[in-house]
Every structure is written in structure tokens, then in C-alpha cells.
Amino acid sequence: MTRAEPARGWKVWVRRAYSVALVVAAVAVLVIRRDDVADLVDGARPLPLVAALALGLVSLAQSAWFWSRCLKDLGAPRSFAPVLEATIAAIPARYLP
């Protein structure tokens, strides 16, 4: 076992904990403010909501594809999956101080 392996395990644990914390926070908001969330979607048709979600996911995939191509052209190739993971993990950084 090299010295890098324990560090990698620690980073994986932090990444997973961060993902779990985001899911817990989202569920907490949905549970605590369920009346407000229900008011937001009251009368909404499901098809436009599903289409908006699909377009959001396509946008994330396009961004990850773009950055993986840029990194490859700059000599630091990364596969699509880790770039997509980094793209998704960076979303809260846009909104949180």
C-alpha cells in the first residue's frame, strides 16, 4: 500500500459524505416546506416538469462533455464520468458563499 492510497480513500469518503449531505438537505427542505413546494407545483402539468428536468440533465452532460474535451486538448485527459461528477458537485458552489 502506498501513501497515496489512504489519501484517495479519505477523498472518496468526503465526496460520498458531501453527496449524502446534499440529498439529506434537499429531502429536509421538501419535508419541512412541503406546503410551499406543493403550492409551487399545484396545477402544473407533469410533462413540462419532466421536460425541464431532462433538459437540465442534458445541460449537465453537455457541460461535462465540453470540459472533458477541453482537458484532453490541454493534455490532461479525463473521462466523462469524473468530469460529470465534478460538474454536479460544483453546482452548490455557485449559490453558497
Per-position DSSP letters for 17-43, written without gaps between them: HHHHHHHHHHHHHHHHTHHHHHHHHTT
| pLDDT tens over the chain, length 97 residues | 555 566 677 888 888 888 889 889 999 999 999 999 888 888 878 898 899 999 999 999 999 999 999 999 999 999 999 999 888 888 888 887 6
Using CA atoms, how far apart are residues 14 and 18, in angstroms rounded to an integer?
6
What pLDDT is stored for residue 60 in this prediction? 92
Full-model pTM: 0.57
Q: Which three cell numbers stand for residue 50?
A: 419532466
